[in-house]
Amino acid sequence: MLTSVKRQNDDLRMRLQDLQKLFLDHEDSKAAASIADLQGKAEAGELTLAFCGHFSAGKSSLINRLCGKKVLPSSPVPTSANVVAIRNGPRQAKIYRTAPRSNRVDSPDQPNHLGGASLGPITVSPDELDEYCKNGEQYAFIEVWEQVKLLQEQAVLLDTPGVDSTDGAHKQATDSALHLADAVFYVMDYNHVQSENNLSFAKSLSDWGKPLYLIVTQIDKHRDEELSFGEYRAAVEAAFKAWEVSYAGLLFTTLRKPEHPYNQISVLPDIINELLSIRTELLNHSLASSAIHISKQFLMRFEDRSEERKAGLLTEIGGEEGAARLAACKEAIEQEMEAVRELPQLELKRIRDEVDRLLHNANLTPADVREAAGKYIESRRPGFKVGFLFSAGKTEQEKQERFNHFWSLFSKQAEGQAAFHLKTLLRQLGNAHGLWSEDWDRKLDEQLYSIEQALITSKSTPDGAVTGEYVLNYCKELRAELSARYRKSALEIAEQLLEGLTSRAADQLEVLKSELEALRKQSAAAEALAAIEQEIAAMSGAVQALLPAKDQLTAGALPAVPAPAVPEDLGTATAGITSASVNMADVIPASGREPRTRLAHAPLAARRHERLAAAAAGLTQAAALAAPYAAMKSAVRGLTARAASLAGGTFTLALFGAFSAGKSSFANALLGEAVLPVSPHPTTAAINRIMAPAEGAAHRTARVTMKTRDALWQDLAFSFDLLGLGKAEEHSWREKVAALTPQQVHPAGRPHYSFLKAAAAGYDAAEPRLGSAWIASMDEYRAYVAEEKKSCFVDSIDLYYNCELTEQGIILVDTPGADSINARHTGVTFNYMKNADALVFVTYYNHAFSQGDRQFLNQLGRVKDAKSLDNMFFVINAADLASSEEELGMVKEHVTNQLQHNGVRVPKVYPVSSLLALQAKQQGDEAALEASRFTAFERAFSHFAGDELPDLAIHAASKEVGHVRQRVEQWIRDARQGEAERLARKQKLTEIKQHGLELLSAYGSSNKDAEIAQEMKELLFHVGQRISYRMSEFMSEAFHPSVLREDQGDLKGIFLASGRELLRMLYLEIEQELLATTLRMESKGQRLTQEEAERTSRRLAEISDGIQVYSEASGHWDTPTLRRTDVREPIAWKNVWKYFKNPKHFFEGPGRKQLQALLEPELKALLLQELEYNEEHLITYFQKLTRASLLDHQERMEEQWSEEIAGLIGALEYASDIHTLEELASRLTHVEDSLI
């Protein structure tokens, strides 16, 4: 047995040596270095257990737990930036520094596979590891020895950087370490298991063929009241099954709550011990798997080296299709040359046959012609005589008549039966070859034999009696002679005609000879291509011969993971966990907080409703006071409208964020009740508004508005286009979706993949309801919010729910994730950004800033800059996961920096625990609510919604009442004048009125078109500049090394998908910039009209000694619909594929730079095209709105002006009623003061 094992090990070592030599001989130092690693690994006999996963999922903490001590730094923001190997032994650490790129030399005896080439190690104390672990740029690889009994003498724990961190080098380091792993533990946090990054990377791990264990951490976040643990587990298993991820076990763990009933942390050491017990078998399996994987990558690179030459040869051949039809083309050209050479003779022969056939069949001497011939011949016989007297004259006349008759019949017969058809035949010949012309018509008439009388006379003198036989023979001879002459002339013409064909054939032959020569060169290229393919095949065969056999692991050898045990008293167990988790104050004291004077779940922004209601009442009172006066008609209308707006006004609070950021749980905490379904899996897939019941709507019901059929097909078409699936056909789209696999999809396209899968699954049930709206129960509502196969057909949902928040007139809008399929509906999202009274962006504590958020945040930054009022709040949810104030501060600083980097310059950031806040509100626990930190957000939001915004509205209301009071006070002043003064004042007011109307007319016709056009052109110029500067950033994100990897299989398909993703990013950026531009243009247009109104108001005051006329700015203008050029595939990505030889050439060599140099001019042309296409449209749109706004202001100011003058003239007649006016002014002053 030992001899067999030794022989097997010796064979493996020899094979690895031979593979390394082969790789070095072919200058692939990367593959050779990786094989050297395997040789060292085989020699050491170490079992390597690699921990990979989502950043901040808890890999380092989990490893620390397994080690029984803190070995690695851990943090909710990315920490490990390099690969760390942990062994059992006396405490020490070795740090391998990254070599400068210019000095890098691959060497098998250095661990350069772990994050890049490295220099010799430096030895440090394990206590100094924190900073080294965070610096992947300077330190490529770290080795640590600690007293870790679990590892025994021959096991290594490998910690890798998070695969979803924003640093691409982290993922590259993780990928490069996997060939050493004998078993892989992939770690994900509870709320992000179904992240596409997790699923995609787990799939790539599965494809290695090594034992894979999936670990879900932080399951203390699970709440059975949201969904049962069995349902959660089933959803996780279904997600990995859909991605075809093969794994040996699935564990659920928590370090925070060791007593959690579903915690399987204790199973993990047992799994490791069992893996160690089959170390030899596992090592051999792993070494073979890695050798096979490394060899595959070597062969891909080997083939890629020939790619440029192959591409050149294929281009010379005419592509792959050209290679396939090369022989057939060559044969076809040779046959065509032969045909061209022979064509003139073949045509002449054909014409000869046709002429012969035609003349043979021509009936030239029918019976009437023969009869006339007999009579004619008889007249030619000697002694022919007619009559007795004067016979000589009569005889000659008879002879002539008989000749004429015969000639007439015979010539007509010859023309009709022969000449006509011969001409037609010759014309057809000429036309068939493009040779005929008018000149040939003339030649035909001249050269084709024309029957002559001599033909008749030369054969018509009989020697004896004229018998029937004689006449018949005569006609035969005549027919033969005529046919011979016709034939001769016709063939002469045909030969002349075909001379043109012979000349043309010579030209054709020259062209064909050139084509044949090119094909012969292509044949040589094809032979060269075949030689390359043979070389590749030979190399593949050589590698295959050296590969170790990959034996399957013994069935049942890998330790299995039992399902989490369900406690007997599940309710008691989970209740204990929930109550234990509420007391966040024990974990992080919320020091320095001001004491609360009311219960936490008292109405949020309650003063808002009270203050606005009081202001509305004051306005209503003021309107009632002014109503008796006809000159106050427009003022009364304004006061009444503003009162109604304040009394019934709503406040829209829009929630944004990536999926599983916790928007729904945050909304529930705001509402104080568990209204929205909360799940660790993606839920909200449609716009979801929560509001007080509308008229006729019942509490706890929802109005579900389904997408129209057209809207659904637009969504399907958009996703099909983005994923490169062609056109979505009604009869076949679901078959295409069924055939779609995750591997075919660029990571940015995964939401579209999920959407299509959900749409296909739910279409039959949803189809009858498309385009309809209906009232749903609470259970139906939850299903249409949470189940994507239903929610993907929903346009929007309004939930009618009575609670303290909605009773304040606050409408809560829960939006789909910024990374969802609905992200394409940028116009809808933009309108909420633009029009919502307040916006909250929610991000997750342990995933504090994801890649899916960035473009969305850039747009938020643009909108924020365009607004005069800062109405945005940024929330870090699940802050209860912080282990200390220091850690919480670090996460807050990280998020703040990231927000600033992505365009939000002065963000207001609030860490909160929505879960604890909701529990505290439901239990009335003031201390727990304070510990949740939710009160800090509520205080800021309440100040904004209950004080800051109402202050603006109430100030405007007070100003409007003040204006009415000032008018009354002017009436009083005028009424106190003497009789003569009043008459003079009345006359002057009449003149002033006309002058003012003229000013207002000029105001209404003010032309701001030039200013609007200039502003738009300038804004779009800067849009073009900003997007142009970011072209390289878009390129880097779309064509990313984490996507275009050698182990991904269909690299060409992924390259094409990356191209489509680049265009998607570009068009999205253009659209978002244009939408932000419309907001800036709206501000510009409103500012122009308002400034003009204020100038006109001041001028009116000047000519009238202070009469005040004003017009407030109108509300939001509608956002214009943007135009999109109708270009489905503006760049032919298949034609630029040649720039991608292999990932190394593309990312480390010149490939990406060459592609960028090629694409940037095209992309900038597309950018310019889109901007120009929208420029005129947007200029016209905002010029029209500005003109309409000017006219609107004019009408309102004209009405006020006329009423002011009428009121003042009327006041001159109120001299006897001054006391009434003084009482009115006093009461208006009281109302005005009450509003301040």
What's the mean pLDDT in 944-970? 86
Residue with more model confidence, 163 or 349: 349
Domain boundaries, the chain: 2-303, 326-542, 650-706+797-932, 708-770, 1006-1110+1131-1211
- For residues 9-20, give the mean pLDDT: 85
Per DSSP, the three-state class of 119 is strand
Q: Label residue 909 by pLDDT band (50, 70, 90).
A: very high
- For the chain, helix, strand, coil in percent to 5 are 65, 10, 25
- CATH class label, 2-303: alpha beta
Show the tokens assigned to 1192. 């609107």
- pLDDT (mean) for 437-447: 84
> If pLDDT is split at 50, 70 and 90, which confidence band does 1226 have?
very high
Query: 688 in helix, strand or coil?
Result: strand
Cα 1166 to Cα 220, 1024, 1160, 1161, distances in angstroms: 50, 11, 10, 9
- Report helix, strand or coil for 680: coil
Residue 579: pLDDT band (50, 70, 90) is very low
176 compared with 894, residue with greater pLDDT: 894
Q: What is the DSSP string of 135-165?
A: -TTTEEEEEEEE--GGGTTSEEEEE---TTS
Separation of first and last alpha carbons in the chain = 97
What would the two tokens of residue 362 be?
Answer: 């021509």
Is the pLDDT at 1010 greater than 50? The verdict is yes
pLDDT, tens digit (0-9, with 9 covering 90-100), for 220-246: 888 777 678 888 888 888 888 877 788
Angstrom distance (rounded) from CA 52 to CA 54: 7
Answer with the residue of higher pLDDT: 540 or 509: 540
- pLDDT tens, position by position, 1083-1094: 889 888 888 888
Check if the beta carbon of residue 969 is closer than 8 Å to that of residue 626. Answer: no
Phi first, then psi: what are they for 65, rounded to 5°?
A: -65, -45
The CATH number given to 650-706+797-932 is 3.40.50.300
Contact of 180 with 155, CB cutoff 8 Å: no
Q: Minimal CA–CA distance to 84: which of 150, 173, 213?
A: 173
Residue 569's pLDDT is what? 47
* Maximum mean pLDDT: which of 118-122, 197-201, 1167-1171: 1167-1171
Who contacts 843 (Cβ-Cβ below 8 Å, separation ≥6)? 657, 658, 661, 849, 850, 853, 874, 875, 876, 877, 895
Q: Is residue 196 predicted with pLDDT exceeding 50?
A: yes
- If we measure between CA atoms, which residue out of 1041, 1032, 1022, 1042 comes closest to residue 1062? 1032
Quick: pLDDT tens for 15-26: 889 999 998 998
> For the residues 613-634, what does the mean pLDDT come to?
88
428, two tokens = 């057809």
Q: What is the 3-state secondary structure (H, E, C) of 1183-1229?
A: HHHHHHHHHHHHHHHHHHHHHHHHHHHHHCCCHHHHHHHHHHHHHHH
pLDDT computed for residue 585 by the predictor: 35
Instruction: Specify the higher pLDDT residue, 412 or 6.
Output: 412
The token duo for 914 is 């929505």
Compute how many other C-beta atoms are within 10 angstroms of the C-beta atom of residue 359.
21
Retrieve residue 933's tokens: 């930190």
Question: What are 834-872's pLDDT values in tens digits?
Answer: 788 888 988 877 665 555 566 677 777 777 666 656 788
Q: Which structure tokens are listed for 1089?
A: 């009209």
| CA 229 distance to own-chain centroid | 34
DSSP run (H or E) holding 1235: helix 1218-1235
What pLDDT, on the 0 to 100 scale, is given for residue 1129? Answer: 62
Provide mean pLDDT across the span 430-443.
Answer: 83
Evaluate the CA torsion angle 944, 947, 952, 957 in order and state its sign. Answer: positive
Nearest CA to 1043 among 751, 745, 819?
745
HSE-up of 680 (CA within 13 Å, CB side)?
27
Give the pLDDT of residue 343.
80
pLDDT tens digit string along 684-736? 457 789 999 887 789 999 999 999 999 899 889 888 887 878 888 888 899 99
Percent of residues, the chain, with pLDDT higher than 70:
83
Pairing of strands 83-88, 155-159: antiparallel
pLDDT at residue 330 greater than cutoff 80? no
| Residues 1158, 1161, 1166, 1167, CA torsion sign | positive
Residue 1160 burial (CB < 10 Å; 0-12/13-18/19+)?
middle
pLDDT of residue 127: 72
* Mean of pLDDT values over 1179-1186: 92
DSSP alpha helix (H) spans, 135-278: 168-177, 196-207, 229-242, 267-277
pLDDT at 669: 92
Provide the β-strand partners of residue 844.
847, 877
Residue 325: how many CA atoms within 13 Å on its side-chain side?
7
Q: What is the pLDDT of residue 269?
A: 92
The pLDDT assigned to 445 comes to 85
**Nearest partner of 758 among 775, 777, 737, judged by Cα:** 737
- Cβ–Cβ under 8 Å, residues 370 and 339: no
Which has the higher per-residue pLDDT, 457 or 75?
457
What is the percentage of the chain residues whose pLDDT exceeds 90?
A: 12
Is the pLDDT confidence value at 587 over 80?
no
Over residues 134-168, the pLDDT tens digits come to 655 567 678 889 998 888 888 999 888 776 544 44
Q: Which tens digit of pLDDT belongs to each residue from 633-655?
A: 888 888 898 888 888 778 889 88
Confidence of residue 819 (pLDDT cuts 50, 70, 90): low
The residue among 794, 833, 788, 787 whose CA lies nearest residue 813 is 833
pLDDT confidence of residue 593: 33
Strands 838-844 and 872-877: parallel
Task: Calculate the average pLDDT of the chain.
Answer: 80
